[in-house]
Chains A and B, each alone.
Chain A
């Protein structure tokens, strides 16, 4: 996997699919001009986040015209974008679609729906039930949506599946204004989490977060790429929309894994025993 990627830190309009699609097209064109082969959008990038009763109103079946239009955009560049997915059974999922060569290649449905504090996702969405790595023409990827990253079990299957990069998509609201932080405490926590996952999986970690306000709650941006050593390789700062073009290279991963061969020494079979007693209880 050696390719240039673009993180599109956008501010979608709540519940306005057509307007947001046009915004995606602008970003896709810009990423193509920058020579990128993959452009990444935040969680629910086509719809906005605090949808509440709009969730079902703007949900998209995978065979819907808008998804086809987005797939069409992926002829010259791969695209990872977020939307509310309506399954054939009528369930709604918080999904990221990965589009390539004019088709939908892979969908990840958010597994760990966040339902506490200001969040109410389990009211709106059904939960995904798997972490499946997939192979794109650019490399091998695993997708995580926001809260998925907080659970240590989420990235582990991707690590075992030898992915080249974790693609993490968020609508992470900013909070925590303490003077001792120097930055939002929520942002500091995300940076810690992302770095930890990069360190323990020795992959590139690509985090695309959105910006903008929805009824007084803001999404804090700060989209970034962490290298396989856990170091911030490049980042967008601040609250404004932005675009980050980054070159990802396999050699960094090889060096990280040579110095500390975590995947080689992993013992996933030990988990079987440990997990057996949790099969029927949470």
Chain B
């Protein structure tokens, strides 16, 4: 086992304990007791749902299945299996009508735009459901996706809090196995399911295994390009990932505000969300 793989290995018992604690405390300090999440049938939302159930109890976690008419039916079935396994209340909101009404305005819309619209339709549903349930939206983006910018801004990346945003995809699988999630969720290839037959790795052009190792060394261990090449990574791959990270930084920050006054929100007006809580 090389150094990167060794360090991507996590103490899953410890991580479970920390994240359950995080959800419990940060939800209650915000004045809430319930969470709402989008259940995609994938591994990330499954892990978040399982953690949320341990933190708040099954009745306080609300799953929303949000298929589009072109979505893979297996995704909905897997999502339903998860909700039933965990015993959480859940509902299905078919987003086809809302999305198609908008798509009809521009029949030439390309696949990327359509994918983003679907992600943002789901965000609308989740935030409305959160208001109805007096709940917070819990996020399901992992560290690999966040760093690569493999998310839709204000879409799947929108949430009030996110327990898994500091775990790489590889580490999500370790945690999923520890949490004893249904095998079918662990064995299928990761997919954003934005169009038929999509898999993350085919769309990204590299494997999670390779990029997780690279990201870990680059981000966590602060390896330089030279260090990474010495460590056996192709220079072109390293540069491609660096460009991808810097090119998607806009997705990881709040909107930038033109500073005019002496005190500007997010610049020099600095308070935590947990201000006074």
Contact = CB atoms under 8 A, between A and B. Distances in A.
A214 B271 contact: no
Nearest to B268: A53
Interface residues of A, number: 24
A172 to B, nearest CB: 15
A54 to B, nearest CB: 7
A17 to B, nearest CB: 10
Contacts of A239: 17-18, 21
A50 B271 CA distance: 8
B142 to A, nearest CB: 14
A90 interface: no
A177 interface: yes
Contacts of B275: 14-15, 54
A179 B9 contact: yes
Contacts of B12: 179
A13 B10 contact: no
Interface in B1-32: 6-7, 9-12, 14-15, 17-18, 21-22, 25-26, 29
Contacts of B273: 215
B99 interface: no
Contact of A177 (B18, B22, B276): B18
A180 B11 CA distance: 7
A52 B11 CA distance: 32
B214 to A, nearest CB: 18
Contact of A14 (B11, B21, B269, B276): B276
B272 A50 contact: yes
Contacts of B269: 53
A20 to B, nearest CB: 11
A173 to B, nearest CB: 12
A102 B17 CA distance: 41
Given A14-B277, A216-B22, A216-B26, A53 B270 contact: yes
A178 B15 CA distance: 10
Interface string A35-54: 00000000000000010111
A181 B11 CA distance: 8
A14 B274 CA distance: 7
A24 to B, nearest CB: 17
A136 to B, nearest CB: 34
Contact of A178 (B10, B26, B272): B10
A212 B21 CA distance: 9
Contact of A213 (B9, B11, B26, B276): B26
B161 interface: yes
A21 interface: no
Interface in A169-218: 174, 177-184, 212-216, 218
Given A213-B25, A216-B26, A177 B272 contact: no
A186 B271 CA distance: 26
B17 A215 contact: no
Given A177-B11, A179-B11, A180-B6, A214 B18 contact: no
Interface of A: 13-16, 50, 52-54, 174, 177-184, 212-216, 218, 239
Interface of B: 6-7, 9-12, 14-15, 17-18, 21-22, 25-26, 29, 161, 268-277
